[in-house]
Amino acid sequence: MIRRSTWIVLVVLLAMIGLSFYLRDRQTRELAVATPTKGMAPLFDSGEGDPTMIKVESSLGLVVQFSRNEDGKWVLDAPEETEADQAAAEAAATQIGALRVLSTVALAPDIIGLDTPDYTVTVAFGDSGEHKLLVGAITPIQDGYYAQLDGGPYRVVDKFGLDELIGLLINPPYLATPTPRASPTPVASATPSAEAGTPNASPPTATPNSQGQITATSTP
């Protein structure tokens, strides 16, 4: 016969299992809940102009930064100071303006990866100051990243645009160095052999002298 205390333990155990399933299901439903943003509004205000500095950092310590110099040309500041590929840097600047907000969410930062962001994107627009975008986890349906701009509400920002910027950590906009053309190697001329180029000495000839003696002479 099962004791009463055993039944109590079983009931408590079943209750804990049920609570665990309930909390897990609730968290899953919360991740799927988002407030759509009408018309996919731009993340940054276009009235601030064009970016003058872009910096992307990862939680692993990788960093890439490039900015416009006094002549308006892009230069690479990190991971090293050097010339930048103007087309690649300008494409990244265009991508900043193309970032779109898909939705706004009301979730705890630890659930969406914003308690310890994977990436930080810092953008400067001339005299408007800097903006800092924290980038957390990817959404369950893989359409965007959970992000927070300047300490504001948690949003979902389109994944394609952020992937382009994050990819700069692996492929910074370095200026391509042209590969020098190889100079042709001169071919050494052939040295004539003794058989082909050096004439042989003529065989000696016998010539009698005034005393009738025969002497041998050779003609070179």
Q: Beta strands of 51-169 (E only): which ranges? A: 53-58, 63-68, 74-78, 82-83, 101-105, 119-124, 130-138, 144-149, 154-158
| pLDDT for 39 | 53
Beta bridge partners of 119: 58, 135
How far apart, in whole angstroms, are the C-alpha atoms of residue 84 and residue 65?
10
| pLDDT for 102 | 96
User: Tens of pLDDT along 141-164?
Assistant: 999 999 999 999 999 999 999 999
Q: Is the pLDDT of residue 191 over 90?
A: no
How far apart, in whole angstroms, are the C-alpha atoms of residue 44 and residue 94?
12
SS3 of residue 218 by DSSP: coil
User: Tens of pLDDT along 104-133?
Assistant: 999 999 999 999 999 999 999 987 789 999
The letter for the amino acid at 87 is A
